[in-house]
Amino acid sequence: MKLNKLLPLAPTALFFVLPAIATDVEPNLLPQTTSGGAIHVRNSTGNGYEVNQIRINRIEYIGDCPGEATYTPKAYFISSSTPPAPGRRVVIRNVSPGIDNDPYPYTDRGYDKGQYSQGFDVSLNTTHQTRDFALKEGVNQFNYEIKEKNTTIESGSFTVEVFRQNSSAISRSQICETVRRCDNYFEIPQIPGYETKPREPRIQNCRWERQCSCPSF
């Protein structure tokens, strides 16, 4: 029996042509997903920042003016991969469990100069607030988008822990002052058929009174 030899096949070159994808987005504006976002809050000493930690202080007042007040710091956003630049803004949403999602609390801040975003106030709440960014005590989950020219150039998520601190009770007294009070009245003569104008007010029954009030929080 005669065996036919198998001849080797000549190598064949394969070429793939990928279709071009048209885009109007500049290369440096292509969106990227990252976890480089963070919230910075100035610490209690005023000479530095705490990262992704927010401390809310509650103070109880006793004495002539009892009550309580809550003091919250101003917060700032920063991304380690996308710094502020002209025309940029950042939208931050609190998507934590237990937070109302219709809509999720959010804040839209300028991110166009300096080292951080425009500052924003925070408060303990579970629904969206028009003036403050709503947080809950404990761990909060944030989503964010950095936009430039109405295009999202970076998006991501990170967590922020919120602590509530109760300070010691503070005695608060009224603030008093002595003021001079007078009863004023106008003397208007009644003349039939003529339009009359009131005279200058005459001051009578002046007295000194002590006035006390509680200072504002």
Tokens of 6: 């198998």
Provide the β-strand partners of residue 139. Answer: 161
| Higher pLDDT, residue 14 or 61 | 61
Q: In terms of Cα–Cα distance, which of 44, 121, 116, 125 is closest to 84?
A: 116
Name the nearest CA neighbour of 170 among 69, 32, 38: 69
pLDDT band of residue 4 (cuts 50, 70, 90) is: very low
pLDDT digits (tens, 9 = 90+) for 80-125: 999 999 999 999 999 999 999 999 999 999 999 999 999 999 999 9
Quick: pLDDT tens for 157-214.
Answer: 999 999 988 887 899 999 998 988 887 655 555 556 656 555 565 656 788 889 899 9
3-class DSSP state for residue 174? coil
Tokens of 2: 């005669």
Write down the pTM of the prediction: 0.66
Two structure tokens written together for 42: 């100035």
Dihedral of CA atoms 105, 109, 111, 117 in degrees, nearest 10, equals -80
Backbone angles phi, psi at 163, to 5 degrees: -115, 140
Q: What is the CA radius of gyration of the chain?
A: 34
The residue length of the chain stands at 217
pLDDT band of residue 72 (cuts 50, 70, 90) is: confident
- For residue 129, the number of C-alpha atoms closer than 13 Å in the C-beta half-sphere is 14
C-beta neighbour count of 30 within 10 angstroms: 12
| % of the chain with per-residue pLDDT over 90 | 52
Q: pLDDT value at position 179? A: 86
Under 8 Å between Cβ of 151 and 28: no
